[in-house]
Amino acid sequence: MVSILRKAPRLEFLLAAAVISCSTGGGNTSAGTTGGGAGGASSTGGAAGTTGSGARGGTAGNEGTGGAGAAGGAAGTGGTGASGGAPPTDAAGGTGGMVRDASGGSGGANDASADNGTTPRDGSAGSSTADAARGDAPADAAPMEGGARVDAPPGGFSDARSTTHLDIPVHDPAVIWDGARYSLFATGGTLGIRNSSNLLQWSNAGSVFSAMPAWVTAALGADPRDLWAPDVSFFNGKYHVYFAGSTFGSNRSVIGLATNAVLDRTSASYAWVDEGLVVESVSSNNYNAIDPNVSFDETGTPWLSFGSFWDGIKMRRLDAASGKLAASDPTLYSLASRGGGAIEAPSVIAQGGYYYLFVSFDACCKGASSTYRTMVGRATSITGPYVDRAGAQMMKGAAEELLVSTGRYVGPGGGTAYRDGALYFYAYHYYDTQDNGASKLSIRPISFAADGWPKLEEPLFP
């Protein structure tokens, strides 16, 4: 799912996303090759279960090592399905699920993972209208602004644009501005980093980890080979990168945290610290602890949203000092669900008295056959209830459609809505039908209509 988080002069209410997993009911996958090329994928398979079983893909493929501009490696083959467990007491919901069945790429400049695999077909989405909650802001509500912490620098956007198609391979992107550069994090391997001054040209900047954290492998009982859908944010004087690890075939998943005082690799203070486990899910949970994303409420309190398939998007309050779950609030909040169907990649911004929850519906990770689309709902509280224009609740499958496949740009989603100075953007990946379905980066400005609902403008580059 994806997560670009950026730093602005005010508090940012931002969740991100990213990213996204892939699965099919007993399905098979086939992937393209890498090494200067693009890793495309196609898949076939059955539907995910919505009442107790959600079949998933199999083992991950090998990591790609392509050259400049190369996409990641081959996806693994489909495997045995796994079933979700009983829901916890916080909410009822269908089981099901998803898993990322893909490999991470590494290599030269602009190289990134092409997260190729399969995703279960979405389940039925409820669309009941909520009579009591239409998402209207109270007349006396104080205006909210989506931005980063008050100690963050102004935005870095210089209005750089391109009329030339740019091939920037990525899956589940997460970006942040540190006052001098943009840093991009994405799914694959041990979380590679790239830097840019203008969001158009990117260079390699190492990775968060030199090897898979041992605690991740121990918690999952297997080496996940790739870490997924990182989210980057800045609070309490340091950068926080939340990331996911998961077993293929179940919702046995973990979300971890790495921190750094700076993002400038030339600084003596540059050093990633593995802070360990933040939250996990097991088969008895009705949620999947992947696709982490951080946002801030109007008081500056950080919140962690996450989730994919199963009973949808969840949220926990964070302790700003530690970056871990807040002991003062053990509530697991439910934000959006499709009853076990395809929903993931949450991110939140706040603007004009509302919080806006961006998510992705339907199938990612199937290359040119992907059906991902970007959706949004809004609320007057960061914990919801989130609704569409008609007041129908996102917990019942409702949402406003923002972005769908068009032309060569298929399956747009896995993104993050974020604020850059006074501006808002949505960064996401799509699958390029003119390049074997390789996943690539796109960034669109966000505007707001007179009624407050967001619109995605033309991308910064085709």
With a CB cutoff of 8 Å and minimum separation 6, the contacts of 327 are 319
Tokens matching residue 293:
């994303």
158, burial (CB in 10 Å: exposed 0-12, middle 13-18, buried 19+): exposed
Report whether 429 contacts 442 (CB < 8 A). yes
Sequence letter at residue 351: Q
Distance of alpha carbon 207 from alpha carbon 215, whole angstroms: 18
Residues recognised as catalytic: 172, 344
Compute, in degrees rounded to 10, the torsion defined by CA atoms 187, 193, 197, 203.
-100
Report whether 123 contacts 339 (CB < 8 A). yes
Distance of alpha carbon 201 from alpha carbon 198, whole angstroms: 7
User: Which secondary structure element, helix H or strand E, spans residue 219, and what is its range?
Assistant: helix 214-220
Place of tokens 């939250």: 279
Q: What is the DSSP letter of 33?
A: -
Q: Which of 365, 405, 231 is CA-nearest to residue 302? A: 231
Report whether 223 contacts 212 (CB < 8 A). yes
β-strand 182-185 against 438-448: which pairing, if any?
Answer: unpaired
Q: What is the DSSP letter of 396?
A: G
